Amino acid sequence: MGGAISITYVLNYFYPKVNKLILLAAAAPSFIQREGYPCGFTRKEVNEILLQLYYNRPGVLADLGAEFFAAEHGMYFKE
């Protein structure tokens, strides 16, 4: 997520002053199932997540955070 944050920051605060941005070892996660990679979601499910992000980004990010952090250990608090 750091790459996306960097790109957004540059676009919001420094464009057009910055004409290059280098992302080293940037990982682009793949959420879509495919041959040899049965994990993740179908393309239709990913498209639905993207649509939800467009309309309710804070809510989607809160829900995804609950998936990645252990709430029972006090590491993530959802109100």
Q: Give residue limits of the domains in the chain.
A: 1-29, 31-79
What's the pLDDT score for residue 5?
80
Amino acid code (one letter) for 60:
V
**Which residue has tokens 């790459």?**
3
pLDDT at 44: 93
Contact 8, 23 (CB under 8 A): no
Return per-residue pLDDT of the chain as tens, 79 residues.
677 788 888 888 877 788 888 888 766 667 788 888 888 888 898 899 889 988 998 888 888 777 766 556 555 444 4
Q: What is the pLDDT of residue 74?
A: 55
Place of tokens 């993207």: 50
Contacts of 76 by beta carbon, 8 Å cutoff, 6+ apart? 65, 66, 69, 70
Task: Supply 4's token pair.
Answer: 């996306």
